[in-house]
């Protein structure tokens, strides 16, 4: 059952990434949903679709924890690189990093990219997945000192600054993560009587 302490829904967020956790918490705070971070049971599977990765990891974690929970898988998809790093974003960031991505794009005029987040919630008998996307471009050089991961090289559409320069308040209004978690929150708030 979903635990409702003081009217709030409690959900475990299975992740090792504190940045993802804090961003998700901020989005969900206005929806009376309390997240707590569990950094232990995330199964990392390989798949070309991040939806499949988040669903498989969420079902695995639920079978271990037996508590209402969410898992988010996300990635940066770069058009000129045929979608790379996509589902391999975490590994690509740890290995070649932002500088490596910029090197792969050197001399490339097509800088289009998008971030995608896929959040799977397992609670009671439900397994629900919600996606969020934000479109933009890859900058010519890293800029800004806020955020994490590819934030210093991603310029969201309609802005002329990177996510790192814009900071969390702006990012959290438009990001792939905020869109996916808002969809989740809307579904949960309509499902209060489950």
Q: What residues make contact with ligand ITT under the rule CB under 6 A?
A: 15-17, 20, 42, 73-76, 89-90, 93, 115, 147-151, 175, 177
Q: Which is nearer to ligand ITT, 9 or 38 (CB)?
A: 38
Which one of 73, 145, 151, 160 is the catalytic residue?
Answer: 73
111: left (phi over 0), alpha (psi -120 to 50) or beta: alpha
Q: How far is the CB of 17 from ligand ITT (least distance, A)?
A: 4
Q: How far is the CB of 157 from ligand ITT (least distance, A)?
A: 15
Active site includes 47?
no
Q: How far is the CB of 11 from ligand ITT (least distance, A)?
A: 14
Q: How far is the CB of 160 from ligand ITT (least distance, A)?
A: 18
Q: Which is nearer to ligand ITT, 31 or 88 (CB)?
A: 88
Among all residues, whose Cβ is closest to ligand ITT? 149
Q: How far lies 43's CA from each of 8, 19, 39, in Å?
A: 28, 19, 11
Phi, psi of 139 (to 5 degrees): -70, 170
DSSP string, 104-154: HTTT----EEEEEEEEEEEETTEEEEEEEEEEEEE-SS---SSSSTTGGGE
168 close to 146: Cβ distance less than 8 angstroms: yes
Positions annotated as catalytic residues are: 73
């Amino acid at each position: 059952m979903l635990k409702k302490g003081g009217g709030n829904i409690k959900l475990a967020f299975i992740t090792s990434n504190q940045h993802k956790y804090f961003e998700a918490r901020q989005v969900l705070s206005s929806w009376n949903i309390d997240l707590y971070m569990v950094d232990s049971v995330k199964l990392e599977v390989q798949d070309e679709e991040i939806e499949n990765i988040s669903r498989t990891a969420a079902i695995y974690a639920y079978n271990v924890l037996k508590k209402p929970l969410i898992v988010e898988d996300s990635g940066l998809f770069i058009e000129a690189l045929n979608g790379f790093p996509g589902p391999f974003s975490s590994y690509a960031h740890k290995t070649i990093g932002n500088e490596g991505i910029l090197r792969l794009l050197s001399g490339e005029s097509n800088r289009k990219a998008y971030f995608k987040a896929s959040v799977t919630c397992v609670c009671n008998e439900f397994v629900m997945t919600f996606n969020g996307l934000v479109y933009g471009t890859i900058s010519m050089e890293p800029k800004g000192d806020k955020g994490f991961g590819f934030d210093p090289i991603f310029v969201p559409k309609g802005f002329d600054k990177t996510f790192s320069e814009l900071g969390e308040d702006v990012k959290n209004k438009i990001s792939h993560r905020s869109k996916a978690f808002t969809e989740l929150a809307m579904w949960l708030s309509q499902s209060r009587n489950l």
